[in-house]
DNA sequence: AAGCCTCTTTGCAGTAGCGCAAAGACAATC
DNA sequence: GATTGTCTTTGCGCTACTGCAAAGAGGCTT
């Protein structure tokens, strides 16, 4: 998948190349390897971050020790904004699943950048708004839809953001265990395994070790939406 | 419950009284009666709204017709921001449960107000961030906690934002049906009814028609948190 | 190539919660 | 004060999903 340049990230929409360059120049950069943590839940935070390359899995730990996958983020995605503008601790942990580079603007820098480039603030609000919308959908799914459909939707979303065309279908191009999928959809790794096995029998997906390839995306859409199977 | 003045709303934090007055003056006002809708899911939207008085129930309709209660909002709370800065349609419907007054700033007005008062933009981001954080918690609850605990947490949250001290406990001061509670917690009205009946037998709550009074808040906290019952 | 670790599969039994149905309670209306 | 409509309760059967356990498979390391 050809990486889009960072300047086309949603955060920079509507800004001139010169402005983007200036904003990028104000960031600190840091590299991380696989399995590193870019942040730990509970750590103090006073900055906004952007993933410049690679992929990070954001998870939330419940008080009883259960883990919830909030989302996977990749190039151009930001994180830490929630913490920077409201709470002062990271509400999530970020584990690198694919070697990454991360940009950081500390809070004061970001505030002054926004004053200089109002569009940056609007973009940030649009990003936060979009995230709220996604979460509303996820809450709706969790409250009203069955597990099978939730898994189908999660796979389609992952295909959207990390899908790679192959000869036989679309490969979700990140290490994705049954446990990960379970923590994204509010079920157990056992149920995920059973559902994927069934779909494999139906020729819809080809599951592997920490790997899922979608063979018949349309069949998955049929399961994900409220359609009669045509 | 004495209504806090609107100027102390989170949106206006850190702004001078004069600034707040100017911002308020730029808003349009409108009144609504009980059961009116302040917005309908799918309606075009190009404004940010604030509830000045009363209470509104925000719901989301799933494609299959099932309803999800997103949250109840009251004086000082804003809505429509998600739509104004990202999608162009209301993602939720807002039904008035207690006669309300609503302020509205259209998008262009809000953008220029933010340019004049940067703090306003920061506050807006803090509000959106806070909402994301709440939704993360809700997702976590839905994925990892049992129904009884989710209901306990929902009641405690409602008590926080609409609780009224009584001689015997805390009354949740808005019309709240079993169905409402079910749609807030991802269960059915039957299960809510059964749980409340059990709690009534334990002397923890006193349920009524569209009404819940909490008699022993601490017992509810014990259920809501991961504590051994002391 | 062997061994090891982690991830995955699947059988099976158990249960939390669903959802229908029918009766009961409450509040508003005529 | 009777009636009507909505909201609530509760019994009962059911099912979707859980969670353990044990075996199987895949990818590293040495």
In a domain, A156, yes or no: yes
Residue A229 maps to a domain: no
Q: Cα separation of A168 and B12, whole Å? A: 55
A82 in B contact zone (CB under 8 Å): yes
- Looking at beta carbons, which pairs linking A159-164 to residues 24 or more positions away fall under 8 Å? A159/A214, A159/A217, A161/A72, A161/A74, A162/A55, A162/A72, A162/A74, A163/A214, A164/A1
Residue A204's pLDDT band (boundaries 50, 70, 90)? very high
Which of B83, B128, B140 is closest, CB to CB, to A62?
B140
Same domain, yes or no: B198 and B129: no
The band of A4, judged by pLDDT with boundaries at 50, 70 and 90, is low
Distance of CA A128 to the CA centre of its chain: 13
- The β-bridge partners of A100 are A32
What is the rounded average pLDDT of the residues B160-182? 96
Q: Give me the CATH number covering residue A27.
A: 2.60.120.10
B227 — pLDDT class (breaks 50, 70, 90): low
Region B70-76: mean pLDDT is: 96
Residue B212 lies in a domain: yes
Same domain, A25 and A129: yes
A126 and A151 co-located in one domain: no
Q: What are B51-64's pLDDT values in tens digits?
A: 999 999 999 999 88
Instruction: Based on the fold, state whether residues B95 and B182 are members of the same structural domain.
Output: no
Does residue B122 surpass a pLDDT of 80? Answer: yes
Buried b (16+ CB within 10 A) or exposed e, A45-60: bebbbbbbebbbbbbb
Residue of A nearest to B82 (CA): A129
Give the CB-side neighbour count of residue B90, counting CA atoms within 13 A.
22
Question: Above 70 in pLDDT, residue A227?
Answer: no
Give the closest-approach CA distance of A167 to chain B in angstroms: 34
Locate all alpha helices (DSSP H) within B10-164, ordered by sequence: 17-25, 81-85, 107-116, 118-144, 147-162
Res B226: pLDDT: 78
**What tens digit of pLDDT does each residue of A47-80 get?**
999 999 999 999 999 988 899 999 999 999 999 9
pLDDT of A46 reads 87
Q: Is the separation of the CB atoms in A46 and A10 below 8 Å?
A: no
CA distance B178 to B85: 34
How much is the ipTM here?
0.95
Instruction: Give the domain range for residue B85.
Output: 6-141
| pLDDT at position A229 over 60 | no
- Closest C-alpha among B116, B104, B100, B109 to residue B35: B100
The pLDDT of residue A85 = 82
Are B106 and B26 in contact by the 8 Å Cβ rule? The answer is no
The pLDDT of residue A113 = 97
| In the predicted structure, residue B190 carries a pLDDT above the cut 70 | yes
Q: With helix as H, strand as E and coil as C, how does A76-110 read?
A: CCEECHHHHHCCCECCCEEEEEEEEEEEEEEHHHH
CA distance B212 to B159: 10
pLDDT of A3 reads 55
Q: How confident is the model at residue B100 (pLDDT cuts 50, 70, 90)?
A: very high
Residues A110, A168, single domain; the answer is no
Q: Is B70 in contact with B59 (CB distance < 8 Å)?
A: yes
N- to C-terminal Cα separation, chain B: 32
Mean pLDDT throughout A123-127?
95
Looking at residues B168-188, what average pLDDT do you find?
97
Alpha helices by DSSP H, listed for A67-216, are 81-85, 107-116, 118-144, 147-162, 178-185, 189-201
- Does the structure show a pLDDT above 50 at B140? yes
Q: Strand, coil or helix: what is B121?
A: helix
Asked if residue B230 is part of any domain, the answer here is no
Do A192 and A136 lie in a common domain?
no
Instruction: Please give the pLDDT value at position B2.
Output: 43
Please give the pLDDT value at position A89.
Answer: 92
Phi, psi of A67 (to 5 degrees): -105, 145
Domain end, chosen from B80, B110, B141, is at: B141
Whether residues A67 and A23 fall in one domain: yes
Query: Which residue do the tokens 């979303």 mark?
Result: A157
Contact status, residue B106 vs residue B46, Cβ threshold 8 Å: yes
Q: What 3-state DSSP class applies to A8?
A: helix
Give residue A32's pLDDT.
Answer: 94
Q: Domain check: are A151 and A90 in the same one?
A: no
Q: Alpha-carbon distance B106 to B189, whole Å? A: 38
Whether B95 and B177 share a structural domain: no
Find which of A144, A150, A225 to mutate to test the B interface (most B CBs within 10 Å of its CB).
A144
Query: Of the ranges A62-66, A198-202, B170-174, which one carries the lowest mean pLDDT score?
Result: A62-66
Q: Of A92, A123, A141, which residue is a domain's last? A: A141
Does residue A177 fall inside a structural domain?
Answer: yes
Is B211 found in the same domain as B181? Answer: yes
* A149 in Cβ contact with A156 (< 8 Å): no
From the C1' of D9, which residue's alpha carbon is nearest? B193
Domain count, chain A: 2
DSSP state of A10: G
pLDDT (mean) for B3-30: 93
Strand C: positions under 7 A of a protein C-beta atom: 7-11, 16-21, 26-27
Is position B1 within any domain? no
With 90 as the cut, is the pLDDT of residue A223 above it? yes
- Let me know whether B171 and B137 are in one domain: no
Alpha-carbon distance A36 to A38, whole Å?
A: 6
Average pLDDT in chain A: 94
**Joined tokens for residue B104:** 């509205």
Instruction: Provide the 8-state DSSP code for B4.
Output: P
Percent of chain A with pLDDT over 90: 90
Domain assignment present for residue B50? The answer is yes
Report the distance separating Cα A14 and Cα A113, nearest Å: 15
* Chosen domain end from B141, B158, B193: B141
pLDDT reading at A31 higher than 90: yes
Mean pLDDT of chain B: 94
| SS3 (DSSP) at A69 | strand
Q: Which CATH number fits the domain that encloses residue B211?
A: 1.10.10.10
If phi > 0 it is left, if psi is from -120 to 50 it is alpha, else beta; for residue A181 that is alpha
In chain A, which residues have their Cβ closer than 8 Å to the Cβ of B136?
60, 70, 91-92, 135
Q: Tell me: do A121 and A175 sit in the same domain.
A: no
Identify which of B97, B77, B229, B85 has the alpha carbon closest to the alpha carbon of residue B152: B229
The reply to whether A202 falls in a domain is: yes
């Amino acid at each position: 998948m050809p990486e889009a340049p960072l300047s086309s990230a949603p955060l920079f929409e509507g800004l001139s190349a010169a402005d983007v360059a200036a904003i990028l120049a104000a960031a600190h950069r840091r590299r991380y390897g696989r399995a590193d943590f870019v942040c730990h839940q509970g750590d103090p935070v006073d900055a906004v971050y952007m993933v410049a390359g690679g992929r990070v899995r954001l998870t939330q730990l419940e008080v009883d020790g259960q883990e919830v996958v909030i989302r996977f983020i990749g190039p151009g995605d930001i994180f830490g904004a929630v913490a920077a503008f409201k709470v002062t601790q990271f509400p999530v942990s970020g584990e690198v699943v694919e070697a990454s580079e991360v940009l950081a603007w500390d809070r004061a820098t970001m505030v002054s950048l926004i004053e200089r480039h109002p569009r940056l603030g609007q973009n940030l609000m649009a990003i936060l708004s979009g995230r709220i919308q996604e979460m509303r959908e996820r809450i709706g799914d969790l409250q009203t839809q069955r597990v099978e459909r939730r898994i189908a939707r999660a796979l389609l979303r992952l295909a959207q953001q990390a899908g790679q065309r192959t000869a036989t279908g679309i490969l979700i191009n990140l290490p994705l265990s049954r446990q990960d999928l379970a923590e994204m959809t509010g079920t157990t790794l056992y149920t995920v395994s059973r559902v994927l096995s069934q779909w494999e029998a139906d020729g819809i997906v080809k599951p592997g070790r920490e790997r899922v390839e979608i063979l018949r995306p349309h069949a998955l859409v049929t399961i994900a939406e409220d359609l009669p199977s045509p």
